[in-house]
């Protein structure tokens, strides 16, 4: 299995920040969010993933505002967020600050009053009675018919609209495995012809993986939560990572402790990981892949945000308390040890400790993570390439390590040391 498409020249060393415009500010619009761009750039964010920016269906709407993922048009802006010019300004401002912008693309289904239901009702799946329908238990949406080539062509033209009009940098493709892989191949070919793009697929289906630059690490997410809760072992954790290591070159995994679905439906990272939430975030930023930060995680946010109604992220007007923590983590992505280095798993004698050494041409990163509640755990590490001068990723304190060292880890804490050579 080989990757089908060439990755964008700027796609090494990425991290992604998911933006929930509705809940980000009291105004819940593009202009008010733009005021946060300087802070996010300082935090080291490379890519902004905008949750769906299209208008939301009013028919069969859930809650007072409806689902972001039940759109009524593919080429219009949700008026609650502003207008097209506002979005263009946001994209331009992000680019000026060194960040890329990708948008959420919901290709499998639309809302019940999408404009295509009137202009092209033949583009939809029908039930036995000839009515619009859906097949996944999401009652506020209806499924599109991918047997219709005209629909596919119009869908691709709609995607191209945002590239040409707003200069976006890619797509996060919602539930990508529900859409035939040949559509994504055609869409990527047509859109990549306009400019270099980044493609994130919400899937782990192996037929779809080679089409995308990155896909979700769902299996890892589930195993990691079970490991923290004592239902899976570190060996199970490593087994999933070994499976991911067999992916084609250029097909990265997206690692996250939260996102819009997890937060609203399954719980915050503190519900899932408890005291291990921060140490799990350290893993996402140092393993071979792309780390994701969801809106408000830098606060930290301890509440589940409502999905269908206004539920403001409670910014306190000062710099979020985990801003520096995530800044230190996200800035690691520029190191070749992180974005393209080899990974050496370091055996330990402790069932709750994960340790590994990442080595690139010009840097090394040593990571030790204690996922257990045992405190003052002494961990002996030995590796022929360990020796060298390092600094601690947060404090900046320098250390000289030999090829065999002993480290002490507090409960639910991690150590990250960086060596540049």
pLDDT tens-digit readout, 332-357: 999 999 999 999 999 998 999 999 99
Size of the chain in residues:
421
- 273, 305, 334 - which closes a domain: 334
Query: Longest C-alpha distance within the chain, in Å?
Result: 73
Domain for residue 8, yes or no? no
CATH of the domain at 407: 2.60.40.1180
User: pLDDT, tens digit, for every residue of 196-225?
Assistant: 999 999 999 999 999 999 999 999 999 999
Name the pLDDT band for 4 (thresholds 50, 70, 90).
Answer: confident
Q: Are residues 380 and 249 part of one domain?
A: no
What's the confidence (pLDDT) of residue 1?
64
* Structural domain span for residue 363: 342-420
Q: Are residues 326 and 402 part of one domain?
A: no
Name the pLDDT band for 184 (thresholds 50, 70, 90).
Answer: very high
Whole-number mean pLDDT of the chain? 96
Domain for residue 3, yes or no? no
Domain for residue 80, yes or no? yes
- 304, 334, 364 - which closes a domain: 334
Average confidence (pLDDT) over 315-333: 94
Percent of the chain residues topping a pLDDT of 70: 100
Give dist(CA 46, CA 11) in Å, integer.
10
Average confidence (pLDDT) over 386-405: 95
Q: Are residues 321 and 364 part of one domain?
A: no
Domain for residue 9, yes or no? no
What's the confidence (pLDDT) of residue 155?
98
User: pLDDT, tens digit, for every residue of 12-28?
Assistant: 999 999 999 999 999 99
Domain for residue 4, yes or no? no
**pTM metric for this prediction:** 0.97
**For residue 421, is pLDDT > 90?**
no
User: pLDDT, tens digit, for every residue of 30-69?
Assistant: 999 999 999 999 999 999 999 999 999 999 999 999 999 9
Structure tokens at 317: 């007007």
- Burial-class residue 161 by CB neighbours within 10 Å (0-12, 13-18, 19+): middle
Name the pLDDT band for 286 (thresholds 50, 70, 90).
Answer: very high
Domain for residue 317, yes or no? yes
Strands 47-50 and 16-19: parallel
Average confidence (pLDDT) over 101-129: 98
**For residue 3, is pLDDT > 80?**
no
Average confidence (pLDDT) over 266-287: 98
**For residue 2, is pLDDT > 80?**
no
User: pLDDT, tens digit, for every residue of 128-170?
Assistant: 999 999 999 999 999 999 999 999 999 999 999 999 999 999 9
Distance from chain centroid for Cα 182: 24
CATH of the domain at 267: 3.20.20.80
Q: Are residues 213 and 82 part of one domain?
A: yes
Strands 377-382 and 404-409: antiparallel
The total number of structural domains in the chain stands at 2
What's the confidence (pLDDT) of residue 317?
80
Q: Are residues 402 and 296 part of one domain?
A: no
Domain for residue 378, yes or no? yes
Q: Are residues 154 and 107 part of one domain?
A: yes
**Residue 49 and residue 291 in contact, taking contact as beta carbons nearer than 8 Å:** no
Domain for residue 316, yes or no? yes
Q: Are residues 408 and 262 part of one domain?
A: no
Percent of the chain residues topping a pLDDT of 90: 96
Q: Are residues 238 and 111 part of one domain?
A: yes
- 334, 363, 382 - which closes a domain: 334
Q: Are residues 242 and 364 part of one domain?
A: no
Q: Are residues 317 and 290 part of one domain?
A: yes
162 contacts: CB under 8 Å, gap ≥ 6: 75, 103, 168
Q: Are residues 178 and 51 part of one domain?
A: yes
Q: Are residues 161 and 219 part of one domain?
A: yes
């Amino acid at each position: 299995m080989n990757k089908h498409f060439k990755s964008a020249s700027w796609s090494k060393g990425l991290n992604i920040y998911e933006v929930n415009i509705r809940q980000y500010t009291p105004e819940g619009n593009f202009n008010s969010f733009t005021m946060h761009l300087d802070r996010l750039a300082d935090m080291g964010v490379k890519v902004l993933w905008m949750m769906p920016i299209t208008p939301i269906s009013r028919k069969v709407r859930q809650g007072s505002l409806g689902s972001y993922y039940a759109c009524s048009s593919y080429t219009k802006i949700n008026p609650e967020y502003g207008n097209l010019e506002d979005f263009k300004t946001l994209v331009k401002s992000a680019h000026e600050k060194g960040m890329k912008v990708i948008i959420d693309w919901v290709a499998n289904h639309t809302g019940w009053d999408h404009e295509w239901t009137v202009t092209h009702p033949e583009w939809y799946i029908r039930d036995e009675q000839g009515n619009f329908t859906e097949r996944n238990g999401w009652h506020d949406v209806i499924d599109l018919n991918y047997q219709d080539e005209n629909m596919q062509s119009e869908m691709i033209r709609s995607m191209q609209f945002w590239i040409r009009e707003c200069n976006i940098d890619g797509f996060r493709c919602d539930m990508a495995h529900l859409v035939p892989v040949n559509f994504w191949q055609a869409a990527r070919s047509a859109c990549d012809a306009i400019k270099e793009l980044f493609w994130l697929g919400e899937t782990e289906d192996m037929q779809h993986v080679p089409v995308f630059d990155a896909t979700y690490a769902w299996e890892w997410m589930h195993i990691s939560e079970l490991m923290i809760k004592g239902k899976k072992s570190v060996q199970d954790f490593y087994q999933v990572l070994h499976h991911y290591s067999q992916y084609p070159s250029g097909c990265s995994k997206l690692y996250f402790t939260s996102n819009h679905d997890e937060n609203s439906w399954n719980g915050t990272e503190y519900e899932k990981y408890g005291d291990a939430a921060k140490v799990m975030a350290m893993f996402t930023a140092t393993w071979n892949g792309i780390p994701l930060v969801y809106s408000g995680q830098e606060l930290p946010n301890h509440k589940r945000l409502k999905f269908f109604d206004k539920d403001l992220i409670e910014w306190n007007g000062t710099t979020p308390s985990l801003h520096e923590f995530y800044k230190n983590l996200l800035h690691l992505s520029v190191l070749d040890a992180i974005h393209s280095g080899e990974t050496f798993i370091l055996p330990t004698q402790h069932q709750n400790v994960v340790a590994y050494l990442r080595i690139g041409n010009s840097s090394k990163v040593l990571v030790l993570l204690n996922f257990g509640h045992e405190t003052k755990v002494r961990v002996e590490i030995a590796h022929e390439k360990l020796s060298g001068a390092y600094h601690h990723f947060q404090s900046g304190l320098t250390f000289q390590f030999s090829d065999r060292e002993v480290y002490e880890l507090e409960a639910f804490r991690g150590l990250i040391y960086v060596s540049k050579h």
